[in-house]
Amino acid sequence: MSKKLRKQIEKHGDLPNHIAIIMDGNGRWAKSHRFKRIAGHKEGINSVREIVRVCGEIGVKHLTLYTFSSENWTRPESEVSSIMNLLFSTIKKEIENLHKNNVRLSAIGELDDLPNKSYKEIMEGINKTKDNTGLNLILALSYGSRQELLMAVRRIVDRFKEKEINIKDISENMISKELYTSKIPDPDLLIRTGGENRISNFLLWQSAYTEFYMTDIHWPDFREKELLDSIIDYQMRQRRFGKISEQI
Ligand code: FPP
């Protein structure tokens, strides 16, 4: 990273502790270059590598990537299997480098839905890097926020039925603890590439006070410069959490 850019972000204020990204626009990027869709996903991996590196370098603590949603299973089978193969081969290829760079790999979502091969590779990666203290790289895989909330409600109702808890014990904190993200702070900044302005069933509960940054840039073109622009934009905002500015 250039010294100038680093100075620029340091000057503007606090870094987001947790950045979450909806990596959209791979297919359209491929189409605009007259490539097949899978070429967009492959180029998207280069963006993943660069964004992970920069987040680690500047000291972001958690980075959550919406890699595969529970709705993405409805895509044509050939695309689903290409993405799953890409996921497998990328983790296999990159895990040593992630480990060397002190990155801790983790995952949220219905991991059991993944093909065996990808599931195994991810679990091995998570295990290998579990004691690392640098960036926490969280892959959202077969993830859907409504499903996550539904499962949390079911578990809480079960505990009530078993008389382990009373109605009054049910709190926001209890719900947060039942989510995949129980050990991860809420995102400070949520970036969506690819020009759509929607949240697509991603971190609905967790993003109650998150700052959103939507950009028309397609994911394969989202690199260091674009990430730093989004961070500076975030740093210029005042987060009020329901208060008035004089109270901040
Ligand atoms: C969205 O673009 C992208 C996806 C659904 C898949 C993203 C997956 C990767 C880049 C692989 C990531 C791998 C690791 C290891 C993190 P889209 O296909 O919806 O694009 P479109 O909206 O232009 O069609």
Specify whether 24 is catalytic. Answer: yes
Segments in the chain below pLDDT 70: 1-6
pLDDT of residue 241: 79
For atom 3 of ligand 1, the residue with the nearest CA is: 24
pLDDT of residue 13: 82
pLDDT of residue 1: 63
Specify whether 127 is catalytic. Answer: no
pLDDT of residue 130: 98
The Å distance, Cα 44 to ligand 1 centre, comes to 7
Q: Which residue has the tokens 């660069």?
A: 50
- Find, among 66, 230, 234, the residue nearest to 137 by Cα: 66
CA distances from 148 to 33, 111, 179, 182, 184 (A): 37, 12, 6, 11, 15
Pocket of ligand 1 (CB under 6 A): 23-28, 41, 44-45, 48, 65, 67, 72, 83, 86-87, 90-91, 139, 194
Q: Which atom of ligand 1 lies closest to the CA of 28?
A: 23
pLDDT of residue 240: 78
Query: Which sequence spans correspond to the domains of the chain?
Result: 14-144+186-236
| Domain 14-144+186-236, CATH | 3.40.1180.10
For atom 15 of ligand 1, the residue with the nearest CA is: 87
pLDDT, tens only, 3-32:
666 677 777 788 999 999 999 999 999 999
pLDDT of residue 3: 65
Mean of pLDDT over the chain: 95
pLDDT of residue 73: 98
Quote the pTM value.
0.94
Among residues 17, 72, 85, 132, the one annotated as catalytic is 72
Q: Which atom of ligand 1 lies closest to the CA of 91?
A: 15
